[in-house]
Amino acid sequence: MTRTIAFIPGALPLSLWTFWPQLGWTQTMTNRSQQKTYLPPPTPMDGEVNFGSAFCRGQSVAGQVVRRFALRKYPRDAGTTTSFALRSVSYEGGGTLKFTISERHHPMKPKRRHIIAMILIAISALLHSESGYAQVAVGADRTESLPTAPEPQSIETLSGARAVSPVGTALVAAFPPQTDLPTGSAGSPQAVTSSPPPSGVMRLTRTQAEQLAMKNNPRITAGRLLALAQHQVYRETRSALLPTFTGELTVSYTNEGSRIGIGGLNAPRLLDHAGGGVVFSQLLTDFGRTVNLVSSSKLREKAQNASALATTEDIVLVTDQAFYNVLQAQALLKVAQQTVATRQQVESQVEELAKNKLRSTLDLTFAQVNLSQAKLLELDAQNNVQSTIAALTAVLGFDKQVGYELVEENTQLQPPPPDVDVLTNLALQQRPDLQALSFEQQASEKFRRAQQKQLFPTISALGVVGGTPYRPDCFDGCFPNYFISSWFGAVGANVDIPIFNGFLFTAQAAEANFRAKAAAESARDLRDAVVRDVRTAWLSATTSFQRVGVAAELEKEADLSLSLAQSRYQLGLGSIVELSQAQLQQADAAIGYVNAQYQYRLSLSTLNFEIGAQP
């Protein structure tokens, strides 16, 4: 359809400002909201425009004014949208401007606000969905636990403590199988709470106390949780090697046809549209940087596992110490009670003799002093028993006081291992803290290599596919039809080449190199400390074993001396000073023998800890 319209140039500015509010977005949206549909006629031919110097030149501005005026004069039919194409413009006599336009009807499209509302509702539903499209870890419903290392070959020693045999192999730090952490449905560890303290008296052996501590002690639980967290760090680093898929939805409501004038060197044109799609990216190669980062994270995970095992062995040693301290305190309490009973008997005898004038008041005073000293010893022993029980309760992970009946598994003493060099080599192979530092050193070396690889290019594959269900209707005189199809897709590759960034990568590589060297020196220092500690623990155990025999002989001699002194005093051949001295020596000898026995047990536990013997 072609129409010819007369237009007065002098009235054009007034008409433009008068009709612009009605012929703008409001008028367009109103006509697009109708329901009737027409088939479009054939595409009209393009024309030329010379709008004159009184207004802006060019087809874009002139076409907009003409179309809006024509739309005002010839309203569109219901249910259609209309495009007007400017054919010709000419001046005729009388100051009249004539121009020719052609119009085209095409079916209406939904309102912008309806489409925007629908897309926003869809986005909201995706965000509030419990399942969503988030990543789900493979096998996340399984309990994450660490592998179990074999225990070293050992021989039984005093109270079940193990002394390692001359033949041993290197062990990998790991958790015992009975200490898996409970996890939720997504594989994340839940909060671990200690078992409630039992009511009544708990009967415990040393091995049972160790197992209970490994189950309830919060330091062990914290170490395992940190190991599981480090495993997630490894998975985070490894994700850079896997493809990435991202879903995107975009809705744009713009000042159509304008351009962005800030923020970059390009100036894209803004058009109203709504679309969605999927973006794909895959690292092809960065010449080993990401691979080295993944290896570094894996080694740090192993280091954290070894640190967790080292924490477990620390708690086991503390448990053994608390266990033997309770036994030692209880044995000392028995000695104190026996001493009180013996001196009470002597004091009663001297008191009767003093009443009968057979002994002096001085003898009675000496006997009473000895009895008071024995009672003070008993009070100290009772306090020591309660203190050591409190320490054992804390190590076992209970928050309330518990009564214990501790049972010694082995009462027969056995000598420590004879060859310290074998123990030293075994400690260098299986000490978990040494393994942890060794893994840290290897991780630092891998990280150093990764930092050096930053100077190499990075090559990635890219892809995108999607559709634009809502896009502008641009024909002829309107803006070019940028969306020539309802869908889009592309694949390609990207090469990122570092050129200069202020020597950042060079400095990071140098830093990683220095840290790797420092880690190597720290590992060497720990090896020297392990050799020293093993030898010191072995010497302490050997000396403690020898002291047990000497203390046993001393106790026998002190008992004999006390017996003779009591006999001499009862016969009137000895003085109270001689008897008091014999009593003191006997009490000291009994206490020394008890201390020697349990110090040897503690020395064996310390030796097992120093060589890395697993509980």
- 3 state SS for 542-584: HHHHHHHHHHHHHHHHHHHHHHHHHHHHHCCCCCHHHHHHHHH
Whether 494 shows a pLDDT value over 90: the answer reads: yes
Whole-angstrom Cα distance, residue 81 to residue 28? 8
Q: What is the 3-state secondary structure (H, E, C) of 297-363?
A: HHHHHHHHHHHHHHHHHHHHHHHHHHHHHHHHHHHHHHHHHHHHHHHHHHHHHHHHHHHCCCCCHHH
- The pLDDT, as a whole number, for residue 474 is 53
Q: How far is Cα of residue 382 from the mean position of the Cα atoms in its chain?
A: 45
Cβ atoms 326, 406 nearer than 8 A: yes
- Write the CA distances from 406 to 86, 209, 402, 476, 554, integer angstroms: 105, 9, 12, 97, 27
Terminal alpha carbon distance of the chain: 96
What's the CA gap between 567 and 96, in Å, rounded? 151
Three-state DSSP class for residue 383: helix
Tokens 């926003």 -> residue: 120
pLDDT at 134 (0 to 100):
39
Separation of alpha carbons 515 and 38, rounded Å: 76
Dihedral angle over CA of 299, 305, 308, 313, nearest 10: -110
Q: Which residue has the higher pLDDT, 356 or 479?
A: 356
pTM value > 0.75: no
SS3 252: strand
CA distance 202 to 223: 27
Contact 596, 551 (CB under 8 A): yes
Read off the pLDDT band of 212 (50, 70, 90). Answer: very high
Lowest mean pLDDT across 108-122, 156-170, 381-395, 568-582: 156-170
Is 108 or 518 the better-scoring residue by pLDDT?
Answer: 518
Closest CA to 413 of 615, 596, 251: 596
Which residue in 602, 419, 611 sits closest to 531, CA to CA? 611
Percent of residues, the chain, with pLDDT higher than 90: 43
Count of residues for the chain? 615
101 three-class SS: strand
Contact 250, 274 (CB under 8 A): yes
Three-class SS of 533-548: HHHHHHHHHHHHHHHH
Fold of 154-182+204-254+270-610: Outer membrane efflux proteins (OEP) (1.20.1600)
Best-predicted range by mean pLDDT among 167-181, 187-201, 392-406?
Answer: 392-406
Q: Report the alpha-carbon distance of residue 582 to residue 560 in Å, rounded.
A: 9
Instruction: Tell me the backbone φ, ψ of residue 135, rounded to 5 degrees.
Output: -70, 140
pLDDT tens-digit readout, 163-189: 333 333 333 333 333 344 444 433 344
**Vertex 232, ends 230 and 238: CA angle to 5°?**
110
* pLDDT tens digit sequence for 264-317: 778 787 888 899 999 999 999 999 999 999 999 999 999 999 999 999 999 999
Q: What is the 3-state secondary structure (H, E, C) of 129-180?
A: CCCCCCCCCCCCCCCCCCCCCCCCCEEECHHHCEEECCCCCCCCCCCCHHHC
Inter-residue contact 594 to 547 (CB < 8 Å): no
CA distance 81 to 34: 9
Q: How far is CA 222 from CA 179, 181, 227, 304, 435, in A?
A: 12, 11, 9, 11, 19
pLDDT reading at 397 higher than 50: yes
**Letter for the amino acid at 20?**
W
132: region left, alpha or beta (phi > 0 left; psi from -120 to 50 alpha): left
Among the residue ranges 198-212, 220-234, 322-336, 383-397, the one predicted with the least confidence is 198-212
pLDDT at 142 over 70: no
**According to the model, what pLDDT value does residue 90 have?**
56
C-alpha 370 chain-centroid distance: 61
What tokens were used for 238? 């490894």
CA angle 89, 90, 95 (to 5 degrees): 125
Contact of 275 with 469, CB cutoff 8 Å: yes
Type of residue at 255: N
Share of the chain above pLDDT 70, in %: 66
Q: Residue 86: beta bridge partners?
A: 101
User: Is the pLDDT at 109 greater than 50, yes or no?
Assistant: no
Token pair, residue 133, equals 């499209």
- B/e letters for 216-234, b = 16+ CB within 10 Å, e = fewer, are bbeebbebbbebbebbeeb
Q: Are 548 and 520 in contact (CB under 8 A)?
A: no
Beta bridge partners of 283: 460
Q: 21 phi and psi, to 5 degrees?
A: -60, -30
Write out pLDDT tens, residues 27-78: 333 333 333 333 344 444 344 334 343 333 334 444 454 555 554 555 544 4
The domain limits of the chain are 2-109, 154-182+204-254+270-610
Where does 24-129 have alpha helices with state H?
25-32, 59-73, 112-128
Q: Residue 380 class from Cβ within 10 Å (0-12 exposed, 13-18 middle, 19+ buried)?
A: middle
Summarize the confidence of residues 150-173 as an average pLDDT.
34
Binned at pLDDT 50, 70 and 90, residue 98 comes out as low
Is 301 in contact with 227 (CB distance < 8 Å)?
A: yes
Tokens 């680093």 map to which residue? 237
Distance CA 395, CA 311 (A): 13
CB neighbourhood size of 189 (10 A): 17
* Model confidence at 334: pLDDT above 60: yes
